[in-house]
Structure 1
Amino acid sequence: MTIRQEHKTPFFYARKRLFSNKPAVFGLIVIVFAHLIAGGGYLLMPDKTPYANDGAVQIQKQSPGFQVKILKIRKNMDVPKVGFFSWLLNGEDSKYTIVPVKGTPRIVDDSVEFQPFGRERAELKHMLLNCVKPLFVGPSDKLEKDAKQNFKVEGNLITFLDSDEHIQTITKEELKKEFFDDNVETRTYYLGTDKSGRDMLSRLIYGTRISLSIGFISVLISLIVGVSLGALAGFFGGKIDTIVLWFMSVIWSVPSIMLVIAVTLALQQRGIWVAFVAVGLTTWVEIARVVRGQIMSIKQKVYVEAARALGYSNKRIIFHHILPNIIGALVVISTSNFASAIVIEAGLSFLGLGVQPPMPSWGMMINEGFAAIGTSNSWHLIFLPSFCICVTVLAFNLLGNGLRDALDPKAVRG
């Protein structure tokens, strides 16, 4: 009786080795979790405003777990509604200006009385109608000719001009109910607030999106440049190889952060797109070296010679017969470059040459925390973004090491 032996593909054994590597699995879990957080974005962020920029200086540098009452005062303008996907990507401007308060605001006659947070002073007053409704700003004769204000009270009924100069009416009871339903809330800042009183958790989540997007785009740019130059040098050799090697040696001799700064200054701009290009153009050298060495070895193989004998073009031989055999090496080095890109971007933002305010970046947040060293309640401003950078970079390095071992064709099958 013949026993049929089932044959497994090389990918099966590579996957088995990868998932038996616990550090690599840990790194993969962290990376998947980070991508879910970045993709979820405003679904997960407590602060739904663009760049999580809704803050109040009265509650700056509060420790994790801080809780406070918030009085929300309606802005005298219409805030346009955005679609779901636009909101998920960019957030939505808040209709309110927030004021942290002590205790619960009280309604006295037609005003709201409240004690501002962090101040030892008498209570302040704000017009109730202006808290709840957006009022028209500027002179108007729609209610009354030569009126000094754009609202009037007649018994229990309030008539006012909204921000579009349309006449609206509301009763005092409806106004009070709307105030307590929409304009007073208790907020918990689970990871504290930054030096501008913004929610640290929301800004860290948005910073995850920035770091991963810069890592992805910069790795893509480095792959395009590195694979192209490495393939040309390794396949054709001669003068092309000499020129590419010289160029790689020059780039390799300059520290990465200095090269990124030079690219940034050459472009005469600062911002996220400049960071994409700058980081990508400084991480391609290692890819080019690996591709060049691999192609120089592979092009001597019999199947490459057979392809030449069949009259295939150099382009077809490179892209269809050589590059597919070095994908494993490219995947491993790309994970390493991804981690390097995150660190370089954080350094750029720390120096003020990367992502610009108010867009949050882990490096920029560390810079803000660094400026607050020595003041009270400032430890989390540096620790939290630094921890995020360390864990993310560690995860990519662990995954890269695991992929290197898993994709090694000389590894023992098990």
Structure 2
Amino acid sequence: MSERTVEPGPDSPAAAAQRSRTAGSGVGVLADKKKARLERLAQASADSGGVSLLRDAVRRLRRNPAAVTGAVIVGLFVLMALLAPLIAPHDPVIRYPELTKDLTTDTIPGARDGFPLGSDPLGRDFLSRMIYGSRQTLFVGVLATMIGLALGVVFGAIAGAFGGWVDVVLMRVTDVMLALPSLLLAITLVAMASSSSQWTVIFAVAIVQVPIFARLLRGSMLAQRESDHVLAARALGVRQRSIVLRHMLPNSMTAVIVQATLTFAVAILDAAALSFLGLGDPDINRAEWGLMLGVDGQRYFDVRPELAYYPALAIIVVALGFTLLGEAMREAIDPKNRR
């Protein structure tokens, strides 16, 4: 009689041993591949001398189309603001006879020779006012953001460094401010002033941004309080002030600086909204996109809607540029997104 080979069943000890050997070999292969990959990365890092966090973030920003687009928009905006006297074809304050001769309450001259965008309601070159408006918009946005950043860093550093009742009081104040819509809070602050001006707009927009920076920095510093280098400094007897200023604060500022880029776009929109509502700078000779959109664009929209279209489009494009750049910077420095 011929001998029959008995195959082990799926639940037999032999089958279980075979599956274990197969799984073990698979895990071993994956471990070898991972080890080889780590060795290649280590060798590449050693050959290049190591890659710092800043260099890695810059490299990732250069590969991000959104970051490149935002950087180009922001760069063009800053250049136009800085070189406005050289770029603008005419003085933005002078009323030109070529434009005023055809200017009536129902007619505002459009494009013509020497004036590509035509006239504003007072017979001034609209293109020159748009170019000079970038300077004023940049000035308001930068100053409001810097003031809000400085105050937010002070409050956030105090709350994150000391904790206790100081942290509770400061955070409850920021919670109240964050509970109110930013534009409504800015309108309230401007309305409390005796008279509206450029500086009331700047300070109102700055105060609105303070709780955002304060809460962000406070959270970062709370995470730093239990880190190894801070615990080591405390164990060595380093003073609390030195620990806060030399260890905790510098390591917590990266996210705050990135947030400032995003907040700049919000500051431009809030300042433009205040000017649109008639709470901004009352000086009609000062060219500012929000003021141009609110005063001229709204009043003469039926006569010449381009007076509203161009400032609105400029505000949207610039805000989009800062938003794209800020979001890309936030993703580039986030350790969770590193590959």
Checking the alignment, whether the CA contact within 8 Å between 2:144 and 2:202 is kept in structure 1 is yes
Structure-1 residue corresponding to 2:289 = 362
More strand per residue: 1
In the alignment, structure 1 residue 193 sits paired with structure 2 residue 234: no
In the alignment, structure 1 residue 42 sits paired with structure 2 residue 85: yes
Structure-2 residue corresponding to 1:62 = 109
C-alpha distance in 2, partners of 1:252/1:308? 34
Structure-2 residue corresponding to 1:372 = 300
Structure-1 residue corresponding to 2:33 = none
Matches within 5 A, 1:8-407: 8-48=51-91, 51-55=92-96, 57-60=100-103, 61-63=108-110, 65-67=111-113, 188-356=114-282, 357-367=284-294, 368-375=296-303, 378-407=304-333
Partner deviation per Cα, 1:27-59 (whole Å, 9 max, x = no partner): 1111111111111121111223xx534345334
C-alpha distance in 1, partners of 2:173/2:154? 14
Seen in structure 2, the aligned counterparts of structure 1 residues 251 and 59 have a Cα distance that, compared at 3 Å, is: farther
Percent of residue pairs identical: 33
Structure-1 residue corresponding to 2:35 = none
Partner deviation per Cα, 1:100-133 (whole Å, 9 max, x = no partner): xxxxxxxxxxxxxxxxxxxxxxxxxxxxxxxxxx
More helix per residue: 2
In the alignment, structure 1 residue 5 sits paired with structure 2 residue 47: yes
Checking the alignment, whether the CA contact within 8 Å between 2:157 and 2:217 is kept in structure 1 is yes
State the number of aligned residues.
Answer: 287
Give the SS at the match of 2:208: coil
Q: Which amino acid aligns with 2:195?
A: Q
Seen in structure 2, the aligned counterparts of structure 1 residues 231 and 46 have a Cα distance that, compared at 3 Å, is: same
C-alpha distance in 1, partners of 2:161/2:214? 12
C-alpha RMSD over aligned residues:
1.8
Structure 2 unpaired stretches of 5+ = 1-42
Give the SS at the match of 2:337: coil
C-alpha distance in 2, partners of 1:45/1:345? 23
Once the two structures are TM-superposed, the CA of residue 25 in structure 1 deviates from its matched residue by 0.8
Checking the alignment, whether the CA contact within 8 Å between 2:155 and 2:170 is kept in structure 1 is yes
Give the SS at the match of 2:175: helix
Partner deviation per Cα, 1:244-263 (whole Å, 9 max, x = no partner): 11101111122222222222
C-alpha distance in 2, partners of 1:292/1:196? 50
Seen in structure 2, the aligned counterparts of structure 1 residues 53 and 334 have a Cα distance that, compared at 3 Å, is: farther
Q: TM-score w.r.t. structure 2 length?
A: 0.80
Checking the alignment, whether the CA contact within 8 Å between 2:217 and 2:253 is kept in structure 1 is no
C-alpha distance in 1, partners of 2:308/2:83? 24
Give the SS at the match of 1:196: coil
